[in-house]
Amino acid sequence: MSIIQELKPHQSLSDPLYVALAQGVQGMVHRVIVGLNWTLVVGPDSCGVSHTPTRGTNGCRALPQASDYARRDLSELATLLHSDNIFEATIAIAAINAFHNSRDREGGDENGLDLVEDRGTRTVIVGRFPGLERRLPDAAVIEREPGPNDYPTSAAETLLPACEQLVITASTLLDGALPRLLELAPQAFTVLLGPGTPLADVLFDCGVDALSGLVVEDSDAIERVIIEGGAVSAMKRHARNITIRKPPNSYP
């Protein structure tokens, strides 16, 4: 679902959005696991996940401080957002999520896709999500590796300024594309969706209207799933989906 490399975002992981996400993050790190599909950071009270980059992605190389990321503070791992090693950047996002996606986080249990209507190309989805054909069959889908009815990532520059509703995969946090996507569609009702979505209210000040992410309930089980290369469906058995919306009084 990632659009890594293709959008060539003009903003990096030093964008104010990322700075705001990392502010206030704290707590001792108990464990860091970089799995085949997902990366996990276990904090003092909660866990956070982020999508593991695929081999061949720009910046993919061995972690320089392997075996030394645990027993640090989450705030220290969050600073790895600025690393040129994309594995360290994904650890940073998982650490941020370990703080924001706490077990006591409250919100609705609906799927983020249920928050938008099918308005043809006025509804744009960045990343192909499971069940998309059933929920939003006529929406415009932007994909890094487009299928028969998908748009290439280059279409974002023309589709997003005219869209009314926008759903963005949380993988765009890792490749640095999220700020640019939000900039292209300031008028759209925007949902950030996926297990790696930080349930952080600060994102409501950055152009996001709803956040739909994962809260881990059984950290031991999630660890086993990620170590053994499990996918989202396996993780969801040990977590719950949480969707939160921007407060009505926050709109101008």
Domain residues of the chain, as ranges?
Answer: 112-216
- Residues 6 or more apart from 185 whose CB is under 8 A from it? 124, 160, 161, 163, 166, 207
pLDDT, residue 225, reads 98
Q: Was domain 112-216 assigned CATH 3.40.50.11590?
A: yes
pLDDT, residue 130, reads 84
Cα–Cα dist 222/210, whole Å: 25
pLDDT, residue 9, reads 40
149 near 136, Cβ under 8 Å?
no
pLDDT, tens only, 140-172: 999 988 988 899 999 999 999 999 999 999 999
122 near 164, Cβ under 8 Å?
yes
Pairing mode of beta strands 165-169, 189-193: parallel
pLDDT, tens only, 93-104: 999 999 999 999
Cα–Cα dist 37/200, whole Å: 23
How many CA atoms are closer than 13 Å to the CA of 228, on its beta-carbon side?
Answer: 10
- Prediction pTM value: 0.91
Residue ranges in the chain whose pLDDT is less than 50: 1-11, 59
Cα–Cα dist 18/33, whole Å: 22
